[in-house]
Amino acid sequence: MYSITDVEQAINYWRERQASTDDFSICPRGGVLADVYGSMIFHQQEFVEPRSLTPEQNEALSLALAQKELF
């Protein structure tokens, strides 16, 4: 299970490491996680199961959280 804090930290991780495609967008990996984050807020969920996420969302989350643990 991923917490809403995990998702937020992963978004911030990617924002610091990937450039956005323009001055108005979030970076690509942050963008796929922003959808998850927004849905969790809307549905007042504190946790999300990995099986409910797309492969791209799972990859963005797991990579960011794994890298965060290395520092």
In a domain, 69, yes or no: no
Which 3 state secondary structure label does DSSP give 40?
Answer: helix
What pLDDT is stored for residue 70 in this prediction? 54
The torsion defined by the Cα of 8, 45, 62 and 49, in degrees rounded to 10, comes to 180
In a domain, 71, yes or no: no
In a domain, 70, yes or no: no
Range of the domain at 34: 2-62
What pLDDT is stored for residue 62 in this prediction? 94
The whole-angstrom separation of Cα 41 and Cα 55 is 21
What pLDDT is stored for residue 49 in this prediction? 96
List, for residues 11-66, the tens digit of each pLDDT value.
Answer: 999 988 876 666 667 888 888 999 999 999 999 999 999 999 999 999 999 999 99
What pLDDT is stored for residue 7 in this prediction? 96
- How many domains, the chain? 1
What pLDDT is stored for residue 34 in this prediction? 93
pTM of the model: 0.85
